[in-house]
Amino acid sequence: MIRRIIPILLAFVFLAASIVYVSDTKQPVKLKDEGDISTSESDEPAEELRGVWVTYMTLDVESESDKESAFKSKVDSIIEDMKAFDLNTMIVQVRPFSDALYRSRYYPWSHILTGSQGEDPGYDPLGYIIEKAHNSDIKVHAWINPYRITTANTPTTLSDDNPYVKDNDIGVEINGALYLDPSSDKARRLIVNGAAEIAEKYDVDGIQFDDYFYPPDCGDFDSKAYEAYRADTNSPLSLDDFRKDNVNKLIKAVYEAVHKANRDTVFGISPQGHLSNNEGLYADVRTWCKEGGYIDYICPQLYFSLDNPALTFEEGLQDWLETEKHQGLDMYIGLPAYKAGTDADEGTWLDNDDILETEIDILREKGCQGFVLYSYDSFHNEDNSAEIQNVMNYLTTSPTQ
């Protein structure tokens, strides 16, 4: 009997010792569920992005008597159309003029909501957009114009809490319009904080900058900043490279801030489709595509017909396909729904009414991850109607990647 008991006792001793050893280890011991077969990388391809840009002009309710109801009705109609056309991503303009379609710590309420910049509309427009979209399995990317404060005539009056009104040093007037100064550290911090704020406060799926960086034909407005930089630098950059570096600093800082605020929110840019045109805006798109830490996706605006004499759609697309890209960069293609059925591109959009459909076929064949149509207003424009109906029939009946 004793001989049989001793081995049992020894087994309990070794078991207890092992339990003590595990409990003393610094790393927690986690048992994997036998049913858990998840891996760090999914074997399933990502869903194709099928998007539409919604501009501030589409959402403008300044002239409406019941502005809140009008705004919400617009959003509801957009979402219903997107569902009918099998589109899954809304890229909505939430900061057109250093303002906001939400309550912000940094920017005033947009004038498009009430008619006066800075006036509280009494509800949360961006919150409503996100709630309604997500309820319909539609993703939302918050579209920001980073530098623009005004055009020549819009908005007509800036509010007292507009950041430029509070501090004129962060902005500059060029050709009758106001812009945040890309060479200003204070302006850069403002833009970064504003982008991070959206990712912190809202369940947005993405944040997107459009193609407005340094204003074209901007002259020497930043000569003082450049001379101060040269005086403080042993090996100064040229003026062109100085300007590109200013934009690059902004893009990298926004990328880092957005991902810190919400790791599930992607950051992308929609630059001009003609690759070389971006140089005049000091948008260093090649660096953003090539090096990690700038953007999660690029969405060039390839607003060209298949036979555009200046640059065809396929020629423009090929330039972007040949651009060196970092691992994990997604490429979506911006398509010009607003040109369909018009005499744009020397009349070549009048040749056929299936041009957009063909372009979608091409970008799919080339391995792009999706497309975005500019803009929602084209869905209800008579000039665009035949082509839009054809492409929507195609999207709802054709398989996607």
Q: What is the pLDDT of residues 196-221, one digit of tens each?
A: 999 999 999 999 999 999 998 899 99
Gap between the Cα atoms of 83 and 395, Å rounded: 11
- By mean pLDDT, which of 3-12, 73-82, 249-258, 291-300 is the weakest? 3-12
CATH of span 46-147+183-304+312-336+358-377: 3.20.20.80
Gap between the Cα atoms of 146 and 158, Å rounded: 17
Side chain identity, residue 324: E
Q: What is the pLDDT of residues 161-188, one digit of tens each?
A: 999 999 999 999 999 999 999 999 999 9
Neighbour-count burial of 136, counting CB atoms closer than 10 A to its CB (0-12 exposed, 13-18 middle, 19+ buried) = middle
> Strand pairing of 177-180 and 171-174?
antiparallel
| CB 195, CB 258: distance < 8 Å | yes
Q: What is the pLDDT of residues 244-286, one digit of tens each?
A: 999 999 999 999 999 999 999 999 999 999 999 999 999 999 9
Q: What is the pLDDT of residues 147-162, one digit of tens each?
A: 999 999 999 999 999 9
Q: What is the pLDDT of residue 33?
A: 34
Q: What is the pLDDT of residue 398?
A: 82
Tokens representing 6? 């001793």
Provide CB contacts within 8 A for 99, sequence distance 6+: 107, 108, 109, 110, 111, 117, 155, 162
DSSP letter (8 states) at residue 111:
G
Number of CB atoms found within 10 A of residue 149's CB: 22
CA-nearest of 209, 205, 202, 192 to 141 is: 205
- Taken as a whole, the chain contains a residue count of 401
CA-nearest of 77, 136, 127, 75 to 101 is: 127
Domain coordinates in residue numbering, the chain? 46-147+183-304+312-336+358-377
Asked if the model's pLDDT at residue 119 lies above 80, the reply is: yes
As a whole-number percent, the residues of the chain with pLDDT over 90 amount to: 87
| CB 273, CB 336: distance < 8 Å | no
Distances from the Cα of 305 to the Cαs of 87, 358, 392, in angstroms?
22, 10, 18
